[in-house]
Amino acid sequence: MDESMDPRVVEHARILARWSTDIKRGEMVIVRASPESHELALALTREATKLGARVMVVMESDELNKAFFDAADDQTIALLPKHMMAAMKEADVYIGLGAPLNTMTLASVDPKKQIALAKANQPLSELVLSKRWCGTVHPCRSLAQQANMSLEEYQDFVYNAVIIDWAAESKNWFLLKDHLERHKDIRFVGPETDIHAETGGRIWIASDGRKNMPSGEVFTAPIEDSVEGKIYFDIPFLYQGKVIEGVRLSFEKGFVVDYSAEKEQPTLKAVLEVDEGARRLGEMAIGTNRGIKRYTLNMLFDEKIGDTIHCALGRAYKECNGLNESAVHVDMVKSMARGKITAGNEVIYHAGKFFYDK
Amino acid sequence: MDESMDPRVVEHARILARWSTDIKRGEMVIVRASPESHELALALTREATKLGARVMVVMESDELNKAFFDAADDQTIALLPKHMMAAMKEADVYIGLGAPLNTMTLASVDPKKQIALAKANQPLSELVLSKRWCGTVHPCRSLAQQANMSLEEYQDFVYNAVIIDWAAESKNWFLLKDHLERHKDIRFVGPETDIHAETGGRIWIASDGRKNMPSGEVFTAPIEDSVEGKIYFDIPFLYQGKVIEGVRLSFEKGFVVDYSAEKEQPTLKAVLEVDEGARRLGEMAIGTNRGIKRYTLNMLFDEKIGDTIHCALGRAYKECNGLNESAVHVDMVKSMARGKITAGNEVIYHAGKFFYDK
């Protein structure tokens, strides 16, 4: 172990390599890191190498992306990144270590350009999803700042959510999955919210820290044209450098028929205009990680907050049997402290209590 | 341009993208960077993207390598990095941006492990050499420290060597190449030095900033079994974290038959024991960049110092028609202020003056 390294960084790396992605001898691992997550990349390289794998680290940062957006014309944005595709084809495991230098670097970039890049990169994104993959963050100053915390406080926040006994903690989440799959629909009711969707034939996934670290959500892809009603997302979220707040959506036959946002409505509009799939829900989900108690404008954590639900516009997960296709997948979160979740005739959750809570 | 960026970084990136590697629309570019060269990676991404290419940045650092060496057993070291190989196969251009966090990070690593890794990576190294590639450095604190300079002084040192009119400066170097190719041998004479080799059928290459930035050398691969005599390298050099000083080598029929070093002789011995090719010269060369006036323990610069020669143990460049094969290529430099270089009956250089000097 590096003498100067926080032992929690080493433990984080161990969880990623052993629990989340189960790295084995002879495997090829791709790690995505920014200059700010070099330390975690180090700990993870050491851990994966111990397990007999060969690690390649790809450097990404919002600054590199900004330089790309500043300089690229339409033809260049549309290029398939053949080198990255080829590397990913040979990889068994992909682990992303998010750690921005400045979370607002992309704030001034035209969302259309960002969406065009997401479209060009779609084959790559799909390839990643076919691997054993996990996304996490390394606590850094910019994320602490975004969360209104000092770096030290933010490190505690992250490691409290990450360094837990995943096998033990996730048992209730699998119970929840079983209950939801016994029914054929889901309904979220709360302030300014009453939304319903069919889920027959769809799979509910209990996310137990394999693909997201931390995790703690149970999610599905609703039947595309069955979503009806309205929903109010009271938790702000960041999309490509913009903080979107107070989103209201109304659905008929699965499509958004009315929308508004208290802040950044034009950005919400741009999302909805990406493609047809962006006007449908690709995901409906319940946040179950009660170790995460507040939002930090980081979806990896915010969608897992205990006693929340979230929905995503755009791409559905194929593992859920979802069919919705889109270049985007934009999650939005709603607190459910005063809400109710039902499935069929069963009350799954009401005002702070799941069926499994004592 | 990034408002906060030194305009010399932007110019460095322009030279790399336009002069050194001539990046064209639709090409795939791989950039190797450490956290310390993120700034140059940014400028280069912007420049390459302007030219219509798609850039992928691979993060490497001595720290990542140290973690690998600490954790890898023999089986893991011997793994072919299939992901990196696949990416490189799709690349048109490869640019390495050296910028260590600490030049001594690998000092305690067993040289045998480093050589085993070099062997495992040999197919990758050969693949890189088949591309349009260039190696450079981004001035950073560790390199400034190694060069006994402040960062500001070191930035001046680097940019004075890099930001020049390469087309104009390299004209004399091509003259030198022509003179050397008119003859069939080369001889370096100086203090404790008289070494001779045949070069008939070999190509002398005038290095004009395409593969190394900065550059300024004219080099060939001598006929393998023709090297005879002795040489004293008075300029110290760094090899895998060790500063080797005062190397003396004696050659018979191309092979090292006697050797010593004033400092780090065991490291020199380890190099010579890597394989048969490591006991032969793969390169003999003349440094021609008079913008570089002193050594900084960085071979990229040191082998280009004006009025020096250098030789490399190990792998020969195929572009020179060299045949020597080895897992290593270790350059050693000698000042020629009091020396003489002859080829056939022609004095190419004597005590500070090339034939082309007024």
Both A204 and A77 in one domain: the answer is no
* Cβ-defined contact of A59 to B54 (cutoff 8 Å): no
With CA atoms as reference, the chain B residue closest to A63 would be B42
A175 and A119 both lie in a single domain? no
Contact B59 A63 (CB under 8 A): no
**Partner residue facing B41 (CB), from A59, A86, A90:** A59
How confident is the model at residue A348, as a pLDDT?
Answer: 95
Tell if the CB–CB gap between A49 and B56 is shorter than 8 Å. Answer: no
Chain A residue nearest residue B81, CA to CA: A54
> Which chain A residues in 279-318 lie under 8 Å from chain B, judged by CB atoms?
none
Domain-embedded: residue B54: yes
Instruction: Mark yes or no for CB contact A52/B45 under 8 Å.
Output: no
Q: Show which of residues 60-99 on chain B sit within 8 Å of chain A, judged by CB atoms.
A: 60-61, 63-64, 67-68, 70-73, 75-76, 79-91
Residue B42 lies in a domain: yes
Q: Which of residues 209-248 of A touch B (CB under 8 A)?
A: none
Residue A315, domain member (yes or no): yes
Chain B residues whose CB is inside 8 A of the A57 CB are 58-60, 64
Q: Do B67 and A25 touch (CB under 8 A)?
A: no
Select from A25, A57, A61 the Cβ nearest to the Cβ of B64: A57
One-letter amino acid of B13: A
User: Do B226 and B134 reside in the same domain of the chain?
Assistant: no
The answer to whether residue A1 sits within a structural domain is no
Strand partners, A28: A54
Beta-carbon separation of A30 and B55 below 8 A: no
Q: What's the confidence (pLDDT) of residue B240?
A: 78
Domain boundary among B163, B186, B209: B163
The last residue of one of the domains, among A163, A181, A203, is A163
Portion of chain B with pLDDT greater than 70, in percent:
99
Q: Which residue of B has its CA nearest to A53?
A: B76
Is B328 within a domain?
A: yes
Encoded tokens for B249:
């080598």
Indicate the pLDDT class of residue B2, thresholds 50, 70 and 90: low
Q: What is the mean pLDDT of chain B?
A: 95
Distance from CA of B278 to the nearest CA of A (A): 27
Structural domain for B13, as ranges: 7-163
Cα A220–chain centre separation: 13
Nearest to B330 by CA among B292, B294, B280: B280
Nearest Cα of chain B lies from the Cα of A84 at a distance, in angstroms, of 6
The complex scores an ipTM of: 0.85
Which residues on neighbouring strands pair with residue B334, listed in sequence order? B309
**Which residue carries 């590397």 as its tokens?**
A87
Do both B178 and B132 map to the same domain? Answer: no
- Cβ pair B33:A59 closer than 8 A: yes
**Closest by Cβ to A49, choosing from B47, B72, B90:** B72
**Residue A193: HSE in the Cβ half-sphere, 13 Å Cα cutoff:** 24
Tell me the one-letter amino acid at B225.
D
Of A45, A76, A84, the CB nearest to B67: A45
Please report which helix (H) or strand (E) contains residue A3, including its range: none
Q: Taking the CB of residue A268, how many other CB atoms lie within 10 A of it?
A: 24
Q: Best mutation site among A29, A32, A54 for testing chain B: the one with the most B CBs within 10 Å?
A: A54
Cross-chain CB nearest to B82 (options A25, A57, A90): A90
* Inter-chain touch B64–A41, beta carbons under 8 Å: yes
Query: How does pLDDT run across B198-215, given as a tens digit for each residue?
Result: 999 999 999 999 999 999
Chain B residues in contact with A82 by the CB 8 A cut-off are 28, 54, 90
**Cβ within 8 Å, pair B87-A84:** yes
pLDDT computed for residue A310 by the predictor = 98
Q: How many residues does chain B have?
A: 358
Q: Which one of B138, B163, B188 terminates a domain?
A: B163
Dihedral angle, C-alpha B308, B312, B313, B316, nearest 10 °: -150
Q: Nearest CB to B49: which of A54, A67, A82?
A: A67
- Do B171 and B138 belong together in one domain? no
The low-confidence residues of chain A, meaning pLDDT below 50, are 1
Cβ neighbours of B321 (radius 10 Å): 14
Token couple for B158 = 């680097």
Same domain assignment for residues B53 and B190: no
Nearest CA in chain B to A93: B83
Question: Which residues of chain B form beta strands (DSSP E)?
Answer: 28-33, 54-59, 93-98, 132-137, 185-190, 193-198, 205-207, 212-213, 217-220, 228-233, 237-239, 242-244, 247-252, 255-260, 281-287, 308-314, 329-335, 340-343, 346-350, 353-354
- Does residue B112 sit in the same domain as residue B19? yes
User: Nearest CA to CA, how far is A350 from chain B (Å)?
Assistant: 48
Q: Check pLDDT > 90 for residue B115.
A: no
- CATH code, domain with B131: 3.40.1830.10
Closest partner residue to A56 (CB to CB) among B73, B83, B89 is B83
Mean predicted confidence (pLDDT) in B240-244: 86
B144 and B267 share one domain:
no
What is the mean predicted confidence (pLDDT) over B27-49?
98
Query: Chain A residue closest to B10 (CA)?
Result: A67
| Residue B1 pLDDT grade (very low, low, confident, very high; cuts 50, 70, 90) | very low
Q: Does B25 touch chain A (CB under 8 A)?
A: yes
How far, CA to CA in Å, does A328 sit from each of A36, A231, A283, B122, B123?
26, 20, 12, 40, 39
For residues A158 and A140, membership in a common domain is answered with yes
* Nearest residue, CB atoms, B59 vs list A58, A67, A70: A58
Test B64 with A50 for CB contact under 8 angstroms.
no
Total residues found in chain A within this entry: 358
* pLDDT band of B82, cuts 50, 70, 90: very high
Q: Are residues A101 and A217 in the same domain?
A: no
Measured CA distances, B244 to B210, B251, B284, B339 (Å): 28, 19, 19, 22
**Tokens standing for residue B221:** 């691969």
- Candidate from B41, B75, B83 with C-beta closest to A90: B83
Size of interface A-B (CB pairs under 8 A): 143
Q: Do A35 and B35 touch (CB under 8 A)?
A: yes
Q: Residues A159, A172: one domain?
A: no
**E strand or H helix at B162, and its extent?**
helix B151-162
CB contact under 8 A, A76 and B54: yes
> Residue A50: its chain B contacts at CB < 8 A?
71
Residue B2 domain-assigned?
no
How confident is residue B4, by pLDDT bands cut at 50, 70 and 90?
A: confident
CB-nearest to A83 from B28, B42, B45 is B28
Alpha-carbon distance of A279 to A281, in angstroms, equals 7
Total structural domains within chain B: 2
| A88 contacts B83? CB cut-off 8 A | yes
DSSP 8-state code for residue A355: T
Query: Residue A346, SS3?
Result: strand
Listed residue (B191, B182, B218, B222) closest to B354, CA to CA: B218
pLDDT tens column, B145-189: 999 999 999 999 999 999 999 999 899 999 999 999 999 999 999
User: Is A86's CB within 8 Å of B87's CB?
Assistant: yes
Looking at the domain assignment, is residue B1 inside a domain? no
Residues A128 and A73 reside in one and the same domain: yes
Domain presence at residue A115: yes
Report yes or no: B49 at the A interface, CB cutoff 8 Å.
Answer: yes
